């Protein structure tokens, strides 16, 4: 692929990531609104979060298989269309069960984005600068996580959450059409049988070169993503319990997402200087300390802490994503990225309802304290990952 086509592929993938990650994280703004309007328990709030992320997780590997047959552009466009339908219907929901159904539809559509876009970008930059390209792609998703929740909070305050959800659906619907025509002209036909034969020569149908390293990397990713989802789901309720109003709660989410976007960039630079393992150890330790400190602080100091906590909370993922391509053959990256994201996002789907039950029983502060203890498990796993990482040209 010539450089111009590579840059255009990266730009298109960044737009897709911006849209889909924004759709996922704007739910953190709407969950407290729905909880008040429909009198939901913490477990029900967790189930709504799980409906979206669970559907997103379950279809990622099948999306990789479909892309092998039909090509990434068709599957990405179809998934984006389905996400648009889901959000438009969310705007008509009258209670917990309709929300559950419509969010599942939206998550099912978004399941195509991470594995297929990551595969497109890594293939476009096979000749070099792949880690920079993947980092740029990841950063675009975090821009969506900052922009879409802020827009949703503004429209919700001005016109109500139903108008916000339906407006999102219309924007994403328009994007689905553009995605198909732009990418179809760039990437051509699906890999087909050549990918199968090349992957098989690697000794397994997945093309994974280092199974132990990939397993450890995926486990860290699962804990990291699950803890991030739980924290963002219940952190607004912690602040509301400290006496914050809805306006401050939305501000708190905004500054946390902004810190997360910065973390993707900063931690990528740290990984180049310190190495992957040391960076993971620093970010995960900082996340634990930040959560514990947040529990002790009143509202105003907590707002100043949240951007810093966001850097640590989100920074680990930028280090992990770029490492996947080094452990997998290029012919099977759509499929293996699907598996990797399924593990991480699947954990993110299961964790909120479980921690929601704990919140109903013991309160949100206890839940976040337990979450901090769980995150500590990533530290020994990172040490075990060291041989696999140091054996690759990262």
Residue with tokens 């609104």: 33
Domain range summary for the chain, segments of one domain joined by + = 3-390
* Length reported for the chain: 394
Model pLDDT, residue 199: 46
* Residues 384, 153: Cα–Cα separation, whole Å: 42
Q: Say yes or no to pLDDT of 334 above 90.
A: no
pLDDT band of residue 205 (cuts 50, 70, 90) is low
Do the beta carbons of residue 308 and residue 291 sit within 8 Å?
Answer: no
Do the beta carbons of residue 60 and residue 338 sit within 8 Å?
Answer: yes
Question: How would DSSP label each residue in 114-166?
Answer: HHHHHHHHHHHTTTS-HHHHHHHHHHHHHHHHHHHHHHHHHHHHHH-HHHHHH
pLDDT digits (tens, 9 = 90+) for 218-230: 999 999 999 999 9
Residue with tokens 């930059």: 125
- The arithmetic mean of pLDDT across residues 46-68, rounded, is 86
Question: How would DSSP label each residue in 326-346?
Answer: GGB-GGGHHHHHHHHHHHHHH
Three-state SS at 359: helix
Residues 64, 68, 69, 74: is their CA dihedral positive or negative?
positive
* Residues 332, 199: Cα–Cα separation, whole Å: 7
Which position has the higher pLDDT, 348 or 285? 285
* Residues 51, 285: Cα–Cα separation, whole Å: 30
Q: Which residues of 337-366 are buried (b: 16+ CB within 10 A; e: fewer)?
A: bbbbbbbbbbbbbbbbbebbebbbeeebbe
Phi, psi of 208 (to 5 degrees): -80, 120
Q: Say yes or no to pLDDT of 14 above 80.
A: yes
Say which residues have a Cβ less than 8 Å from residue 221's Cβ, sequence separation at least 6.
317, 320, 340, 343, 344
Give the pair of three-digit tokens for residue 101.
């159904």
pLDDT digits (tens, 9 = 90+) for 81-119: 999 999 999 999 999 999 999 999 999 999 888 888 877
Task: Tell me which range, 98-102, 237-241, 252-256, 331-335, is most confidently predicted by mean pLDDT.
Answer: 98-102
Q: Hey, which residues does 328 pair with through a beta bridge?
A: 208
Three-state SS at 285: helix
- The arithmetic mean of pLDDT across residues 26-37, rounded, is 93
Do the beta carbons of residue 232 and residue 285 sit within 8 Å?
Answer: no
pLDDT band of residue 187 (cuts 50, 70, 90) is low
* Residues 119, 142: Cα–Cα separation, whole Å: 19
Which run of H or E residues covers position 249? helix 246-274
- The arithmetic mean of pLDDT across residues 298-322, rounded, is 87
Which position has the higher pLDDT, 314 or 326? 314
Furthest-apart CA atoms within the chain: distance in Å: 60
Task: Tell me which range, 30-39, 56-65, 117-126, is most confidently predicted by mean pLDDT.
Answer: 30-39
* Residues 335, 339: Cα–Cα separation, whole Å: 6
* Residues 128, 171: Cα–Cα separation, whole Å: 34
What value does the mean pLDDT of the chain take? 84
Give the right CATH number for 3-390 from 3.20.20.140, 1.20.1250.20, 2.60.40.10, 3.30.2420.10: 1.20.1250.20
């Amino acid at each position: 692929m010539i450089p111009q086509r590579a840059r255009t592929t990266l730009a298109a993938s960044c737009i897709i990531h911006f849209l889909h990650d924004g759709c996922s994280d704007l739910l953190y703004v709407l969950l407290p609104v729905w909880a008040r309007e429909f009198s939901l328990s913490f477990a029900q709030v967790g189930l709504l979060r799980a409906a979206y992320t669970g559907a997103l997780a379950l279809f990622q590997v099948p999306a990789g298989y479909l892309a092998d047959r039909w090509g990434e552009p068709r599957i990405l466009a179809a998934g984006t269309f389905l996400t648009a339908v889901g959000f438009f219907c969310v705007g008509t929901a009258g209670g917990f069960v309709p929300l559950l159904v419509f969010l599942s539809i939206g998550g099912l559509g978004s399941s195509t984005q991470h594995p297929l876009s990551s595969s497109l970008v890594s293939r476009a930059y096979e000749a070099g600068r792949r880690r920079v390209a993947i980092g740029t792609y990841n950063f675009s998703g975090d821009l969506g996580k900052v922009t879409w929740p802020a827009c949703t909070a503004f429209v919700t305050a001005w016109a109500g959450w139903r108008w916000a959800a339906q407006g999102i659906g219309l924007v994403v619907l328009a994007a689905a059409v553009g995605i198909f025509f732009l990418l179809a002209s760039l990437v051509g036909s699906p890999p087909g049988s050549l990918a199968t034969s090349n992957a098989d020569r690697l000794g397994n149908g997945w093309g994974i070169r280092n199974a132990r390293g990939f397993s450890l990397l995926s486990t860290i990713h699962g804990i990291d993503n699950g803890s991030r989802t739980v924290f963002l789901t219940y952190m607004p309720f912690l602040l509301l319990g400290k006496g914050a109003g809805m306006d401050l709660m939305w501000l708190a989410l905004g500054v946390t997402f902004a810190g997360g976007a910065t973390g993707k960039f900063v931690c990528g630079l740290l990984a180049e200087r310190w190495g992957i393992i040391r960076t993971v150890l620093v970010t995960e330790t900082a996340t634990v300390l930040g959560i514990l400190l947040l529990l002790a602080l009143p509202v105003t100091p907590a707002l100043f802490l949240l951007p810093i906590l966001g850097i640590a909370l989100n920074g680990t993922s930028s280090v992990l994503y770029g490492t996947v391509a080094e452990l997998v053959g290029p012919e099977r990256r759509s499929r293996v990225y699907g598996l990797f994201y399924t593990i991480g996002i699947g954990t993110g789907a299961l964790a909120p309802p479980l921690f929601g039950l704990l919140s109903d029983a013991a309160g949100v502060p206890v839940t976040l304290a337990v979450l901090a203890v769980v995150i500590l498990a990533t530290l020994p796993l990172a040490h075990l990952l060291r041989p696999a990482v140091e054996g690759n040209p990262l």
